[in-house]
Structure 1
Amino acid sequence: MKVIDEFLARADTLAPGLVEGLYLHGSIALGDYRPGVSDIDFVAVTSAPAAPDLLRRLHRSLPRRPHLDGIFVTRDDLRRDPATLPPGPAIHENRVLAATDFERNLVTWHVLAQGGVAVRGPQHPEIFTDWPALAARTRDNLESYWRPWTRRMRTHPAALTAAAVSWGVLGVARLRNTLEAGRVTAKTDAGEFAVRTYGSRWEPIVGEALRIRCGGSPRFRNPLRRRAEMLAFLTRALTH
């Protein structure tokens, strides 16, 4: 990808030898990248801590689209449980963050181990993984984030937007699919899983969520009806 080539060229000019490895994760690694919709998620492996001022200079030269979102870690960091790491530098939504927990988590580590795309560095770097811990955190996320989110959407105007439908339906379905599959799964795969698991009753709202992500003709004319179907599906999937 052109933006990745530009990123590496600029990094090598500003700080030769700093970026030892560059790996793509997220939708690219999961085979679910959608141009114009998906971000490009990366993990840059550096020979020394990346200074925020340097990252700001690097970021200023990059295109604004697609979003290039990623973190900067050392090889030793990848060998450790990310929960034990201190906050570190990242680029997120066209902003440089000096110290954040963004993407420094077991999901990122697992996706890298499953199928991270090596742009620079060893094809299969040593990466810490812990499936039982990730599964436990996934179940906790369903309860601590998605159940309250679903309650809020009953009266929140954002629930009438296409973005909320895609985020909610595919977000919960993806976590359920991940737990069932024993690996981190993609959003599109999760949509297929949802219909297969919960039945054809839910095909219209799942199809609408996939349509919002992938393109196609709307499945609902009435946003109120769409919200009702989204909330009904989420209630069903959260009770599993």
Structure 2
Amino acid sequence: MTDPLSTSRAYLALADEHAPGLVEAFYLQGSVALDDYRPGVSDIDFVAVTAREPAAGELRTVHEALRRSHGETFFDGLYVTAADLRRDPEQCPPGLAVHEWRVLEGSRFERNLVTWHVLAQGGVPVRGPRPEVHTDWPALAERTRQNLAGYWTGWRVRAAFTPGAWTTSWGVLGMARLRHTLAERRVTSKTEAAAFALDAYDQRFHRIVREALRLRVGGEPQYRSPVHRHLDLLKFTAMVLAEP
């Protein structure tokens, strides 16, 4: 079973070996910071603060070595400076990141206010003190609404043709999480969002919410028919997107 802290310590040992002095501070964010990490389901999400501009080659060496020893779970994150974290991420230039074991150059992966807010709310320091992080709730709320109107509206159109367990969990919990975040004025977790949806939405949607939660945390299936499950997913997501 993958443990985020032990994987992070293995990463730091490799970074210190192959890129001495590069990583000044290292934090876990995402599901770990939101107390919603699920082994076998969640990725390990990180923010590495560097003392200098990393070279893509040295990061590939580090992450390939980590993949060989701890490759059961994706170890995704980005490389920034301490100064980057103190300003609006929209003003930060693209940089190096890692997604599904690939080192990305000139990437905006995870350089956004969600990452900054999660880091400020509950980022887990593995190396270094708690970071100073720029936050801006009004801007995050506006971008959350834009995400619903943009990405998620388009996603629902595509999801009509891609039934399956992953689609169900991603769509129901992803959209509910954004509505819950707006209601709570903080970034919330997918598991919290399921509880919110069961409380906030009509009972006719509870079955699909419970199924999406079951796909994340385990339990008995709520559906015998994948067709009925997919139809309920589409009804639920249409309702969430229609909310003002």
TM over 0.5: yes
User: What is the rounded CA distance, in whole Å, between the counterparts of 1:66 and 1:102 in structure 2?
Assistant: 18
In the TM superposition, 1:69-218 aligns within 5 A as: 69-123=76-130, 125-154=131-160, 156=161, 158=162, 160-218=163-221
Check if 1:11 corresponds to 2:15.
yes
Read off the aligned partner of 1:106 and give its amino acid letter. Answer: L
User: What is the rounded CA distance, in whole Å, between the counterparts of 1:194 and 1:231 in structure 2?
Assistant: 15
SS at match of 1:221: coil
User: What is the rounded CA distance, in whole Å, between the counterparts of 1:161 and 1:142 in structure 2?
Assistant: 21
User: What is the rounded CA distance, in whole Å, between the counterparts of 1:16 and 1:152 in structure 2?
Assistant: 45
User: What is the rounded CA distance, in whole Å, between the counterparts of 1:200 and 1:27 in structure 2?
Assistant: 28
SS at match of 1:48: coil
In the TM superposition, 1:45-84 aligns within 5 A as: 45-62=49-66, 63-84=70-91
Note the C-alpha offset of 1:153: 2.5
Note the C-alpha offset of 1:41: 0.2
Indicate the larger mover: 58-67 or 175-184.
Answer: 58-67
SS at match of 2:129: coil
User: What is the rounded CA distance, in whole Å, between the counterparts of 1:148 and 1:24 in structure 2?
Assistant: 30
Indicate the larger mover: 72-81 or 10-19.
Answer: 10-19
Indicate the larger mover: 10-19 or 175-184.
Answer: 10-19
User: What is the rounded CA distance, in whole Å, between the counterparts of 1:183 and 1:40 in structure 2?
Assistant: 21
User: What is the rounded CA distance, in whole Å, between the counterparts of 1:74 and 1:68 in structure 2?
Assistant: 19
SS at match of 1:234: helix
Structure 2: runs of 5+ lacking an equivalent: none
User: What is the rounded CA distance, in whole Å, between the counterparts of 1:95 and 1:69 in structure 2?
Assistant: 9
- The aligned length equals 236
Note the C-alpha offset of 1:200: 2.4
Identity within the alignment, %: 56
- CA RMSD of the aligned region, Å? 0.9
SS at match of 1:122: coil
Read off the aligned partner of 1:88 and give its amino acid letter. Answer: G
Read off the aligned partner of 1:55 and give its amino acid letter. Answer: L
Check if 1:28 corresponds to 2:2.
no
Note the C-alpha offset of 1:215: 1.1
Check if 1:40 corresponds to 2:47.
no
Note the C-alpha offset of 1:211: 0.6
Note the C-alpha offset of 1:219: 0.6
Which digits, 9 at most, give the CA deviation of each residue in 1:135-187, with x for residues without a partner? 00000010111122223333x1x1x2000000000010000000000000000
Note the C-alpha offset of 1:203: 1.3
Determine if contact 2:64/2:101 at 8 Å carries over to the other structure. Answer: no
Read off the aligned partner of 1:136 and give its amino acid letter. Answer: E
Indicate the larger mover: 177-186 or 140-149.
Answer: 140-149
Determine if contact 2:49/2:79 at 8 Å carries over to the other structure. Answer: yes
SS at match of 1:126: coil
Note the C-alpha offset of 1:14: 1.5
User: What is the rounded CA distance, in whole Å, between the counterparts of 2:17 and 2:229 in structure 1?
Assistant: 50
User: What is the rounded CA distance, in whole Å, between the counterparts of 2:186 and 2:106 in structure 1?
Assistant: 28
Read off the aligned partner of 1:30 and give its amino acid letter. Answer: L
